[in-house]
Amino acid sequence: MTKLPNDINEAIAQAMEATKAALQDGYTRLQIEIVVPEIELQAQSLAKEFIPALLETTTQLKVFFPDTGAAALARRDWQDVTFKIEDIGTSRSPVDSRVEPEDQCFLLIAPSAVEVAQAEKLSNLAGDRPVVMLIPRLEDVSIVGIGYAARQLRERFIKTLESCYYIRSFGEGALYRCYPSPWQVWLEENGQYKLIAEQPEKPVGDQLDIILAKATGTAKTDNSTSSSETITAPPKRKGLLSEIQKFLRALSN
């Protein structure tokens, strides 16, 4: 059984194996989500650790950064690499010209909601060729919005991305997925983390609250409602998981 990583290095190692497994199974739109505050500040160093996994699967990798500055910095620091480094472009300088017929696989590093249109265009241009997104932040309500256009974007593009690796802490629990395992919910008990639920789809919102409430015994029945209805009390929060604290320490080194 896959277990929670102990630190950022173990998380990247797990993500590499999950990505290779998903690619072998034919998935072509993948994302690796390690939801840690300000992790995008370490995007280049994380990408350097992650890229060897993709080089095991292809000889024609192209790496994209969100902007020209980040791409230039990577070119300076990674001088003897076998792959090309580009920026994702802008509406005035679209990504179309950066995708070539000989490219076999694309890695997009830390795209945000600002670059979501270019990320979608890259994915469409790639066709059947794999597009892997490392620590993306594609959904920002202040940028993407909550109206019809935002819903269309989610249905048309964001929902087509397979989260082959995901980890996020919330209070005393964690939501975790490492392909090919299903989505998992873990809960801290006496300093140890116990798997309390597995689901084929990502549990979000009320669904996740209900899982936690059942595990912690905080699901309550409201006498003013029918006997089949329950009200879910939120689980207690003790602070950040020790795993996230380790992540932050590792990122600050």
Q: What is the DSSP string of 196-209?
A: EEEESS---HHHHH
Is the bond preceding 203 in cis, omega lying within 30 degrees of 0? no
- The more confident residue out of 14 and 148 is 14
- pLDDT 10s digits, 33-65: 999 888 989 999 999 999 999 999 998 999 999
Could you give the CA distance from residue 187 to residue 55 in angstroms, rounded to a whole number? 36
pLDDT given for residue 88 in this prediction:
94
pLDDT given for residue 149 in this prediction:
67
Q: What is the DSSP string of 14-81?
A: HHHHHHHHHHHTT--EEEEEEE-TTGGGGHHHHHHHHHHHHHTT-S-EEEEESSHHHHHHHHHH-TT-
pLDDT at 230 exceeding the cut of 60: no
- Which pTM does this prediction carry? 0.83
Confidence band, pLDDT 50/70/90 cuts, at residue 1: low
pLDDT at 246 exceeding the cut of 60: no
- pLDDT 10s digits, 158-205: 899 999 999 998 877 899 999 999 999 999 887 788 999 999 999 988
